[in-house]
Amino acid sequence: MMETPLPELEAILLVGGQGTRLRPLTLGTPKPLLPTAGVPFLAHQLARARSFGVRRIVFATSYRAEMFSEAFGDGSAFGLSLEYMTEETPLGTGGAIRNAAEALTCGPDAPVLVLNGDILSGHDIGDQVARHVARRAAVTLHLTEVEDPTRFGCVPTDDEGRVTAFLEKTPNPVTNRINAGCYVFTRSVIDSIPAGEVVSVERETFPGLIDSGALVLGYADASYWLDVGTPAAFIKGSHDLVLGRLASPALPGPPGEFLVLPGAQVSAEAKIEGGSVVGARAVVESGAQVSGSVLGDGCVVHAGATVVDSVIGIGARVASGAILHGAVIGDGAIVGPGNELVAGSRIWPGVVLPECSVRFSSDV
């Protein structure tokens, strides 16, 4: 896809969620900072926004807000200027956007890009902005097509791309297009959101604009899109980036079957594949098999262990002969020999599973 270059553009990045669906990974780290394909998840969004001409981004933070500034500082490493606006109490999506807008410098007629901190997308941001400006829309929403829209609210449009409604989940959706979480607002529209109040753009702002006759556009395409809000989706996003299914300027190396970070030790007799990441100072011993997984810094996968579509936390250990399929192992946890953890298993940080032949499928 040809990227559409932009003039200098300001953006708001929504990163206030607690990531409860990703626990225990998010017990100590906000979801947007989880290591994904070798770097914090947001690094991919920042680098991609920069590639489209964005130069200044305001973070809308809430949960563990200080960790974002510690991770990214002033943004100079990304060629960006970063500002941080924190909600003292959660204000919803609309309230968060309105709060962050206090740090914008653009005028009332300027477009403002709004990104969600848990989305991977391959769509042409520049083209979305260009269409917004050309049509003088109030808001332009990225819409993506999904196989099963019953799990989402759907967003129908007319023949000219105007959004006609925001519909709640229904067993008989009228379209397979859903809200993909990337918006272009005209600055004055953001300023019309009540300040300091809890507001949902999905339930209040967008429907209100449609009812008032304002032009709300849909920018629909079928490019790569993923909400990384669950462990399975988080793992998929990481290995898709490593495999090159979605290009990212932040990937610390060329796309391939695996990514090994500095200081890691991988035996020549181990098998690593499927877009796996081996974290810094991690160890993968002889005969171990790792596929489509994320191995945290300093973790150890012992000889003969099998790890498939799983996340191994920082400093965790997987013993010889253990088998993991779709599991999440918290920081410092130990999976003893003989354990077979099936899809959906989540082991909390520091938990030790002794040698055992019983399958675990519930939270421990």
- pLDDT for the residue numbered 309: 95
Q: Hey, where are the domains in the chain?
A: 9-227, 257-360
Q: Is the pLDDT of residue 5 over 60?
A: no
Q: What is the dihedral of CA 240, 243, 248, 252, to 10 degrees?
A: 120
Tokens read off for 249? 């300027």
Cis peptide before 111 (omega within 30 of 0): no
Length of the chain, in residues: 364
- pLDDT for the residue numbered 63: 65
Taking CA atoms, 145 is separated from 7, 239, 267, in Å, by: 28, 22, 42
Q: Beta partners for 39?
A: 36
Q: Is the pLDDT of residue 361 over 70?
A: no
> Is domain 257-360 classified as CATH 2.160.10.10?
yes
Q: How confident is the model at residue 317 (pLDDT cuts 50, 70, 90)?
A: very high
* pLDDT, tens only, 151-194: 777 888 898 999 998 877 777 777 888 888 899 999 999 999 99
Q: How confident is the model at residue 360 (pLDDT cuts 50, 70, 90)?
A: very low
Q: Is the pLDDT of residue 67 over 90?
A: no
Q: Is the pLDDT of residue 150 over 60?
A: yes
Place domain 9-227 in its CATH homologous superfamily: Spore Coat Polysaccharide Biosynthesis Protein SpsA; Chain A (3.90.550.10)
The pTM (predicted TM-score) of the whole model is: 0.86
